[in-house]
């Protein structure tokens, strides 16, 4: 199964995603609360996949996505955010995100996305 890094400023969202992913046997190898920390952990842990919130303090998810993709063109990143942020979703896909998950998370949708991207 995959090594996954979860990035979200809300602890309960990181826990929710972690529970969903671990229920399928994935290994959550790290958590970050902002984009700056996400970049540090990506470099250190080399995850197979990253789930990244868009709206976070210090450095938002789009900036972190762009930085990680510039360092690793093969990075697999799924962006996560609340509904109603269509312009940001389009921007994230243009920057290299592989998919987008809307909050609140639907377990089946999360697992379908992760499994498809990891193939």
- 19-76 tens-digit pLDDT: 999 999 999 999 999 999 999 999 999 999 999 999 999 999 999 999 999 999 999 9
Structural domain includes residue 107: yes
Structural domain includes residue 69: yes
How many domains does the chain divide into? 1
Structural domain includes residue 119: no
Structural domain includes residue 116: no
Structural domain includes residue 117: no
CATH number for position 70: 3.40.50.2300
Structural domain includes residue 118: no
62-86 residues labelled b (16+ CB within 10 A) or e (exposed):
bbbbbbbeeeeeebbbbbbbeeebe
47-59 residues labelled b (16+ CB within 10 A) or e (exposed):
bbbbbbbbebeee
pTM: predicted TM-score of the whole model, two decimal places? 0.95
Q: Whole domain around residue 85: which residue ranges?
A: 3-111
Is pLDDT of 84 > 80? Answer: no
């Amino acid at each position: 199964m995959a090594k996954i890094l979860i990035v979200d400023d809300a602890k309960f969202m990181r826990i929710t995603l972690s529970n969903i992913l671990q229920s399928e046997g994935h290994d959550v190898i790290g958590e970050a609360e902002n984009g700056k920390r996400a970049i540090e952990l990506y470099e250190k842990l080399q995850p197979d996949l990253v789930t990244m919130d868009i709206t976070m303090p210090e450095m938002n998810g789009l900036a972190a996505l762009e930085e990680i993709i510039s360092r690793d063109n093969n990075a697999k990143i799924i962006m996560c955010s609340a509904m109603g942020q269509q312009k940001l979703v389009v921007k994230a896909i243009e920057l290299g995100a592989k998919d987008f998950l809307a909050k609140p998370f639907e377990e089946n949708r999360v697992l379908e996305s992760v499994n498809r991207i990891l193939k």
